[in-house]
């Protein structure tokens, strides 16, 4: 049975995109006037790989983003997940969902069958372990991509994604990643103000993803180890990257965005005391150092009954920028607060697809792969610093052959031996 606690703090889009999407639907006529008449084809054929919570959300977001979108294919390793996405889409968008049995793919190779089809873009929303392999295959086949974050769980996967991003650039493909803050007006305006000097030079930063325990699934008697791990993936390091990578990558990515680069070194700590399943930590605290000598303090925690925060703070010589989804402001001599000023309310989850579709139609080649691969590697560097207790450098990560997960993927894969890293010993 699925258990979710501390729903209020569970802000990873799992919380509020339904609410905002409804507003976006109302605003869609206004927001779409720019893209629907853009050059190129009107119809946009979309396939989906990974039909769980976010895959279903992204499917609906793409349908809301543009009246030309048609969902043509779906893949998942579990029939029940595919069916529930398909049924939900048909209920709201019956005439724009054309996924007959021959374009429903169940199994680990389903992504290949989706990639083989004639589609304008493919949504990838499986657990992160699979992402770099799937996206690499998609760009090699000349497909545009919408992919969820994080984009890998280890340095090998990050470099694979960087290379796939380079191939996409060469082929002028569009690749958008589910880091919705980059498509959210309040963040875009605030970052621009900071780049224009509103807080002076950045001297330090802080970022947080502190919330209660995320969901977990108790094992059912007929589930193999592999089925249980995949259905319970947010608790397994090899599938999720641990929560500093799976969730906190959003905030780490925002700090890198303000800084315009990734850090060069991390030292950290973390531990596990409360979790009831899987092999992840409960909390991380990491000091990231950038090449210019400035530092960013990063905190990620999933423990019930504690103070929560999902936000970033950028400290400059002349002021401070405070940012969280839906609200950004600057304090100091150039004080400023984001105001919508009559602009239509569009969910950033829908805006991601509006921006992707516009890029596909215009052939603009919007490509976020390298940026999110670097932010994912930043989070992994922080995780490794916490697990080991060592100072871990970017150069080490860029050379590391650390690869999580089994050699081959099939339903016979057994749960790994639970070894919780002990700093100073690991
Ligand atoms: N941008 C955001 O705010 C946001 C919010 C939530 C989740 N996410 C990300 O979205 C991704 C999916 O998360 P979720 O919450 O939807 O999880 P989920 O468990 O609800 O969905 C994952 C789906 O992928 C399927 N799957 C697993 N392995 C597969 C494979 N090899 N091939 C095809 N399908 C496979 C699962 O059966 C499941 O249906 C994760 O990377 C997560 O970090 C992003």
For tokens 């992994």, the residue is 380
108 pocket-lining for ligand 1 (C-beta < 6 Å): yes
18, 21, 55, 180: residue to mutate for ligand 1 pocket, most atoms within 8 A of CB: 55
Answer whether residue 14 shows pLDDT above 60: no
* Radius of gyration for the chain, computed over Cα atoms and rounded to the nearest angstrom: 21
pLDDT over 90 percentage in the chain? 88
The closest-lying atom of ligand 1 relative to the alpha carbon of residue 349 is 1
Domain boundaries, the chain: 2-181+348-374
What are 42-89's pLDDT values in tens digits? 999 999 999 999 999 999 999 999 999 999 999 999 999 999 999 999
pLDDT of residue 40: 58
Cβ contacts of 109-112, under 8 Å, gap ≥ 24 = 110/49, 110/75, 110/76, 110/77, 111/49, 111/75, 111/137, 111/138, 112/137
What are 320-342's pLDDT values in tens digits? 999 999 999 999 999 999 999 98
Pairing, β 69-76 against β 44-49: parallel
Ligand 1 center to residue 127 CA distance, Å?
5
76 pocket-lining for ligand 1 (C-beta < 6 Å): yes
Structure tokens at 119: 């589609």
Ligand 1 center to residue 230 CA distance, Å?
10
pTM: 0.92
H helical segments located in 196-313 = 225-231, 237-240, 243-246, 249-259
pLDDT of residue 426: 63
Answer whether residue 403 shows pLDDT above 70: yes
Residue 236: HSE in the Cβ half-sphere, 13 Å Cα cutoff: 22
Structure tokens at 288: 């990231």
For tokens 């210019």, the residue is 292
130 pocket-lining for ligand 1 (C-beta < 6 Å): yes
pLDDT of residue 344: 84
Answer whether residue 12 shows pLDDT above 70: no
* pLDDT band at residue 214 using 50, 70 and 90 as cut-offs: very high
- Per the prediction, the chain carries an average pLDDT of 91
DSSP state at residue 357: H
Fold classified for 2-181+348-374: Rossmann fold (3.40.50)
Instruction: Count Cβ neighbours within 10 Å for each residue of 318-333 and write b for 16 or more, e otherwise.
Output: ebbbbbbbeebebebe
pLDDT of residue 343: 85
Which residue is closest in CA terms to ligand 1's atom 28? Answer: 126
């Amino acid at each position: 049975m699925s258990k979710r606690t501390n729903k209020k703090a569970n802000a990873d889009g799992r919380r509020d995109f339904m609410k905002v999407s409804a507003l976006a639907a109302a605003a869609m006529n206004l927001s779409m006037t720019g893209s629907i008449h853009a050059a190129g084809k009107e119809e946009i054929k979309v396939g989906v790989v990974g039909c769980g919570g976010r895959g279903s959300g992204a499917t609906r977001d793409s349908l809301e983003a543009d009246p030309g979108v048609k969902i043509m294919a779906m893949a998942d390793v579990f029939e029940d997940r595919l069916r529930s996405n398909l049924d939900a889409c048909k209920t709201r968008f019956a005439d724009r969902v054309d996924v007959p049995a021959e374009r429903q793919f169940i199994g680990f190779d389903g992504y290949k069958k989706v990639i083989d089809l004639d589609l304008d873009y493919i949504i990838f929303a499986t657990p992160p372990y699979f992402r770099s392999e799937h996206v690499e295959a998609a760009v090699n086949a000349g497909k545009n991509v919408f992919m969820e974050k994080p984009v890998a769980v280890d340095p090998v996967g990050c470099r694979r994604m960087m290379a796939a991003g380079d191939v996409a650039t060469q082929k002028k493909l569009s690749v958008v990643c589910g880091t919705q803050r980059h498509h959210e007006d309040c963040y875009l305006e605030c970052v621009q103000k900071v780049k224009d000097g509103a807080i002076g030079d950045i001297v330090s930063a802080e970022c947080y993803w502190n919330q209660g325990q995320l969901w977990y699934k108790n094992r059912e008697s007929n589930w193999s180890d592999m089925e249980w791990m995949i259905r319970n993936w947010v608790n397994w390091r090899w599938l999720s990257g641990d929560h500093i990578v799976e969730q906190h990558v959003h905030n780490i990515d925002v700090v890198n965005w303000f800084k315009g680069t990734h850090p060069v070194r991390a030292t950290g700590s973390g531990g596990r005391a409360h979790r009831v399943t899987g092999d992840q930590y409960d909390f991380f605290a990491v000091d990231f150092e950038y090449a210019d000598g400035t530092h960013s303090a990063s905190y990620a925690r999933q423990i019930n009954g504690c103070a929560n925060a999902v936000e970033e703070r950028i400290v400059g010589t002349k002021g401070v920028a405070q940012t969280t989804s839906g609200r950004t402001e600057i304090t100091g001599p150039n004080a400023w607060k984001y105001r919508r000023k009559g602009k239509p309310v569009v969910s950033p989850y829908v805006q991601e697809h509006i921006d992707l579709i516009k890029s596909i139609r215009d052939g603009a080649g919007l490509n976020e792969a390298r940026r999110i691969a670097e932010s994912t590697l930043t989070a992994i560097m922080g995780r490794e610093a916490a697990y080991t207790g060592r100072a871990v450098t970017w150069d080490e990560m860029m050379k590391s052959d650390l690869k999580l997960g089994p050699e081959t993927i099939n339903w016979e894969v057994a749960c790994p031996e639970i070894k919780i890293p002990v700093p100073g010993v690991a």
